[in-house]
Amino acid sequence: MFDYFKFAGPLVRLFDPECAHGLTVKALKSGLVPPQPRVAAPSLEVALWGLRFPNPVGLAAGFDKNAEVPDSMLRQGFGFVEIGSVTPRPQPGNPKPRMFRLVEDRAVINRMGFNNEGVEAVAARLEARARIGIVGANLGKNKDTEDAAADYEKGAARLGPLADYMVINVSSPNTPGLRALQGRDQLEGLVGRTRAALDKATEGAKRPPLLLKIAPDLNDEDLSDIAAVALGGALDGLIVSNTTIARPDSLRSAHAKETGGLSGAPLLDAATAVLRRMYTLTEGRLPLVGVGGIASGADAYAKIKAGASLVQVYSALVYQGTGLVTRINRELIDLLKRDGFASIADAVGADHRVK
């Protein structure tokens, strides 16, 4: 099959990153981006939360903030797509420039600041879609909202009936004070109120699972507190992890010192280590979604063996295009077969079972 990205990728990268992203979304909306071949195999299917994922590779939040192309991205071979982050009211985000390619490092730094069109615009698009696959909604708070939990309540109430799963995002480094909400006392209240709003909005219907997305920069005490909250019953899973504020010494790009969240290849090991720790702290009782630095089937498999039931990619698409999704799934089939696993579920947490 013709690899359009070999032709389009270098052209798109002639533009600044945010402009290039906007052009990509427009191309997807117009149907100019051809679908990728879907890799179908019983070993790739994942049954979780009453949902059946055709494969474990999802699109992370941030790519489709306004739910403009979830179905187009599903046609690129993803097993699921996460839209957002969405705030109750529209907001422009931080001043530009606010996104930077670190080409030498196969990484990205962004300080977008939850720029989005608001929950009503997103809800209208989700209501209009054909629902051809699994789409989750990632919730954020408006920058000037003092009662943070109120914003998550509003997002859950409006989008809960329209999404297949919901995510509380309190781990972006680009909204002042947001990461402080990961502390145990604040988190318990926020999660409890969001869960109550979600239950009320979906009363009499199937309630979508509620997940929490955490940062990779937390210490062990923070992680223990989050695990305790997660096992308290109000959460159905964790997404590990968001971008990092750390700057590894290995970075070579001239943009390495830009403020914001770092994603891509340099995040792989750190995010996987946090994932592995959270699997231990939650005793394997809570589904985890592994994110951060995935650029191959081997990277995705490392997350799965560390404890992830699903994985998500985003930054690697900047450098490899959506054909990466097909390659990851094909490589996962081979890796599962090599190690004697019949399914993704059999491989989840395998590293923890090694004696």
* Element of type H or E holding 48: strand 46-48
The encoded tokens of residue 16 equal 């600044």
Quote the CA–CA distance of 230 and 155 in Å, as a whole number.
20
- 3-class secondary structure, 256: coil
Q: Hey, which residues does 240 pair with through a beta bridge? A: 214, 290
- 3-class secondary structure, 237: strand
Catalytic residue among 172, 263, 309, 315: 172
Question: Which amino acid appears at position 191 of this protein?
Answer: V
Nearest Cα residue to 53 out of 310, 326, 238, 323: 310
Nearest Cα residue to 44 out of 354, 301, 271, 287: 301
Residue 250 known to be catalytic: no
Q: Which residues contact 284 (CB under 8 A, 6 or more apart)?
A: 307, 349, 352
The encoded tokens of residue 189 equal 């209240």
Quote the CA–CA distance of 210 and 317 in Å, as a whole number.
26
Distance, C-alpha 287 to centroid of its chain: 14
User: Contact at 8 Å (CB) between 171 and 117?
Assistant: no
* Element of type H or E holding 180: none
Q: Which residues are catalytic?
A: 172
